[in-house]
Amino acid sequence: MKEKPAPLAEPVVIAKFWKNRARNESLHVGFNSYEGHNLINVRIHTTGTDGIDRPTPKGISMSVRKLPELARALVKAEAEARRMGLLDGDSEVSA
């Protein structure tokens, strides 16, 4: 039986980008631990007048073991959005 990975000592930020044109909300994607469980966290942050991003209740955290399933669902959603004409064929995001 495979050992359970140790909880993360600190949060790990994978990506963040602006949610809207006003640039007062951003989406943060990362890993963190809660009560000994490693989680994938996708959350909206608001930017205060002091320039600091603060997390909001808007978002989702789930076991990092669900990450492959979430990734497959997002790939399917992107393909369907393109099929429906909701996204341009060349609207790619650079990593």
Picking from 13, 9, 17, the residue whose alpha carbon sits closest to that of residue 30 is: 13
Radius of gyration of the chain, Cα coordinates, nearest whole angstrom = 16
**CA-to-CA distance for 70 and 81, rounded, in angstroms?**
16
Nearest to 5 by CA among 38, 41, 32: 38
pLDDT in tens, 34-47: 999 999 999 999 99
pLDDT for 92 beyond 60: no
Fold for the domain defined by 12-83: Transcriptional Co-activator pc4; Chain A (2.30.31)
pTM above 0.85, yes or no: no
Predicted pLDDT at 94: 47
Q: How far apart are CA 65 and CA 72, in angstroms?
A: 13
Whether residue 80 is predicted with pLDDT greater than 60 in this model: the reply is yes
- What pLDDT is stored for residue 88 in this prediction? 85
Closest by Cα among 13, 14, 11 to 95: 14
